[in-house]
């Protein structure tokens, strides 16, 4: 049976709240291969307006054991190609992804995907005791879910509505799945967006995956990975940044990480920043306009009871896209005594504070940071 996302707003919020109170960790994973997601044609831009009205045409289907809902732009023209955004947890996060339909942007298609299966099974390729404690015994089924998504859902949708490029978005466990899919099925989606992804599942098993299939070869369009985290839910995701760099992907071109100051593992936080990966997928970066630098002491969820001292330089572009550049910026201690690591973590050797200069792409800011007590 297929459901309507707009009618599920309140229901989705209730389901989501239940899940959030039942578990604090995060979750997700998988993916298969399909036709070239970068294919484009000249008839993409049949826009009457620069800023199109909201998506307003909805179609529901069942494909295999998955329910899908397809939302078309109000100026949809049959035969034209459109950027297409697929997202996990269509039934739970309607309020978050549905907000994209009200943004001014080029015309695009959204496809929500869901089924009734255990989220730990559907989105994870790994066993994890914390997931078992929350969801009960499960069999990691990310591969089966993704196979249906890539080999059945995408061809079904694109037989009806042509795509110029594809993205897969997911939140929490759905974000784990989106990134896993990007790694395992690099031909399926040109862009994967993971909000608060559950990379901790299986003791960080995602960080052990081989990324050789992502190494750029020939003239094919680059793969883009976006992932983020709120500072109130801080876990170390830097291994993925470094692993992606090792296969010749470039930060700021193929790799984007956003550390959102004060944000937690909750729907208001995701709603506040969903536009960032959305515009990154549709538009890419524009002109660099600003560098803001913050320092903070985050609770380290990887090591309960410990603090993580962080410097977080965030760049903003003229189209509103923003992301953190702690792995790319240059840090220099200008007063006090201490060090700043390549991932933005800092240590004060003596005293309670130090001043650090941070530089990126010709922009420089100074910040005073304190000891984490």
Burial class from Cβ neighbours inside 10 Å (0-12, 13-18, 19+) for residue 239 reads: middle
Give residue-wise pLDDT tens across range 285-309. Answer: 999 999 999 999 999 999 989 999 9
pLDDT the model gives residue 49: 43
In the DSSP assignment, the letter for residue 222 is: P
Average pLDDT over residues 47-72: 74
Give residue-wise pLDDT tens across range 265-288. Answer: 999 999 999 999 999 999 999 999
Residue 21 clears pLDDT 60, i.e. is over it: no
Structure tokens at 213: 């299939």
HSE toward the beta carbon, residue 249, CA cutoff 13 A: 26
HSE toward the beta carbon, residue 217, CA cutoff 13 A: 6
Beta carbons within 8 Å of 234's beta carbon, 6+ residues apart: 259, 298, 299, 300, 301, 308, 310
Give residue-wise pLDDT tens across range 207-239. Answer: 999 999 998 876 556 699 999 999 999 999 999
HSE toward the beta carbon, residue 127, CA cutoff 13 A: 4
Average pLDDT over residues 19-33: 37
pLDDT the model gives residue 167: 98
The residue behind tokens 């037989």 is 159
3-state secondary structure 66-134: EEEEEEEECCCCCCCCEEEEEECCCCCCHHHHHHHHHCCCCCCEEEEEECCCCHHHHHCCCCCHHHHHH
The neighbouring-strand residues paired with 351 are none
């Amino acid at each position: 049976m297929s459901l309507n996302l707009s009618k599920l707003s309140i229901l989705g919020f209730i389901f989501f709240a239940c899940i959030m109170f039942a578990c604090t960790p995060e979750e997700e994973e998988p993916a298969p291969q399909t036709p070239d997601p970068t294919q484009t044609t000249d008839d993409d831009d049949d826009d009457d307006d620069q800023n199109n009205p909201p998506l307003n045409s909805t179609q529901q289907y069942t494909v295999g054991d998955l329910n899908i809902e397809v939302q078309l732009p109000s100026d949809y023209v049959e035969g034209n190609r459109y950027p297409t955004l697929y997202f996990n947890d269509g039934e739970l996060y309607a309020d978050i992804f549905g907000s994209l339909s009200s943004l001014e942007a080029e015309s695009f298609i959204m496809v929500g995907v869901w089924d009734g299966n255990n989220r730990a099974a559907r989105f994870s390729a790994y066993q994890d005791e914390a997931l078992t404690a929350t969801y009960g015994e499960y069999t990691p089924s990310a591969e089966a879910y993704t196979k249906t998504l890539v080999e059945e859902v995408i061809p079904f949708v694109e037989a009806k509505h042509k795509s110029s490029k594809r993205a897969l978005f997911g939140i929490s466990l759905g974000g784990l799945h989106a990134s896993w899919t990007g790694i395992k099925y690099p031909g399926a989606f040109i862009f994967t967006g993971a909000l608060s992804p559950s990379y901790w599942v299986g003791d960080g098993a995602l960080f052990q995956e081989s990324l050789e299939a992502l190494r750029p070869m020939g003239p094919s369009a680059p793969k883009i990975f976006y992932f983020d985290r709120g500072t109130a839910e801080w876990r170390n995701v830097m291994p993925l940044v470094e692993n992606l760099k090792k296969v010749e992907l470039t930060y700021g071109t193929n790799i984007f990480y956003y550390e959102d100051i004060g944000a937690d593992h909750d729907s208001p936080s995701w709603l506040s920043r969903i536009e960032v990966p959305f515009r990154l997928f549709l538009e890419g970066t524009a002109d660099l306009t600003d560098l803001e630098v913050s320092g903070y002491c985050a609770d380290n969820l990887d090591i309960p009871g410990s603090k993580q001292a962080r410097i977080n330089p965030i760049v903003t572009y003229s189209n509103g896209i923003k992301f953190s550049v702690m792995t790319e910026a240059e840090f220099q201690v200008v007063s006090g005594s201490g060090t700043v690591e390549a991932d933005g973590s800092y240590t004060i050797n003596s005293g309670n504070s130090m001043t650090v200069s941070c530089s990126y792409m010709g922009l420089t800011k100074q910040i005073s940071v304190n000891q984490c007590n």
